[in-house]
Amino acid sequence: MSNNFYVPKKAMVIVAHPDDIEFGCAGTIARWVQAGAEVVYTICTSGDVGIDVPDMTRAKAGKIREAEQQAAAEVVGVHKVIFLREPDGMVKNTLRLRKKLVREIRRFKPEVVITTDPTTLWVRDIYINHPDHRAVGYATVDAVFPAAGQPLVFPDLAQEGLTAHKVRKVYVISFEGGNTFVNITDTIDLKIASLKKHVSQVSHWDPEPMLRKWASKLGKGKEMVYAESFQSITIINDEEFVNID
């Protein structure tokens, strides 16, 4: 199969919890990294309420889940993971969080930002989207546009040497289908392996059949055995496309 596959020079993924990336877009990240992209993960919480076992503390859970996320990132070739340590389960789309995200965007200057869909509440009749996912999605979109690109928004960040930066594209993770599909047939094994690094979340079940089923459904009819999908929004339409298929 041959198609034009967009590869950003730099990309930042902003999500709420450790493992959100592995469920949503790790196959795409693996392809981008293999094609030469530099990628950074920004995780807003440490997932510190996400281990439900006797005698677990938030401090201990946070350390476990941060370590799992670091290991998962390494599987797909991502070596920098930022943890903002917002309160797990209680994230709010505040100006304080927006400024934190603007700081990271201005520091790294990504061409593309990937995040979760803030508008999704129900996923058919099987899932209620986590409130942290929605809050982080909204905070990310608000940080990307217009805040990060406007020097008069959070001007004090200039004192940290951080100048305004305009992101070219936003990729919003979509499990139901969007306007952009990425062929992850060659990287789905890395996606699965990276998710399995989150031992505290998947030790009691095997996520592989579910991931393959999702990716197969998204690839159906698109000449892709396995795919990930996004709603992509182009803010600055001057990207270059490279063909690596």
In the predicted structure, residue 243 carries a pLDDT above the cut 50: no
Do 122 and 129 touch, CB atoms closer than 8 A?
A: yes
The C-alpha angle with vertex 168 and arms to 172 and 186, in degrees rounded to 5, equals 55
What one-character-per-residue DSSP string does 19-80 give? THHHHHTHHHHHHHHHTT-EEEEEEEE--TT---STT--HHHHHHHHHHHHHHHHHHTT--E
CA 13 to chain centre: 4
Mean pLDDT in residue range 41-65: 97
Mean pLDDT in residue range 184-196: 98
Q: What pLDDT, on a 0 to 100 scale, did the predictor assign at position 35?
A: 98
Domain parsing of the chain, residue ranges = 10-234
What is the pTM (predicted TM-score) of this model?
0.94
Do 195 and 211 touch, CB atoms closer than 8 A?
A: yes
Q: What pLDDT, on a 0 to 100 scale, did the predictor assign at position 124?
A: 76
In the predicted structure, residue 76 carries a pLDDT above the cut 70: yes
In the predicted structure, residue 59 carries a pLDDT above the cut 60: yes
What is the pLDDT confidence band of residue 245, given thresholds at 50, 70 and 90?
very low
In the predicted structure, residue 240 carries a pLDDT above the cut 60: no
What is the pLDDT confidence band of residue 238, given thresholds at 50, 70 and 90?
low
Mean pLDDT in residue range 49-66: 96
Mean pLDDT in residue range 149-176: 96
CATH class held by domain 10-234: alpha beta
Per-residue pLDDT tens over the stretch 1-25: 334 689 999 999 999 999 999 999 9
Q: What pLDDT, on a 0 to 100 scale, did the predictor assign at position 1?
A: 32
Per-residue pLDDT tens over the stretch 88-123: 999 999 999 999 999 999 999 999 999 999 998 887
Q: What pLDDT, on a 0 to 100 scale, did the predictor assign at position 4?
A: 63
Residue that wins the pLDDT comparison between 157 and 241: 157
Q: What pLDDT, on a 0 to 100 scale, did the predictor assign at position 84?
A: 98
Average pLDDT for the chain: 94
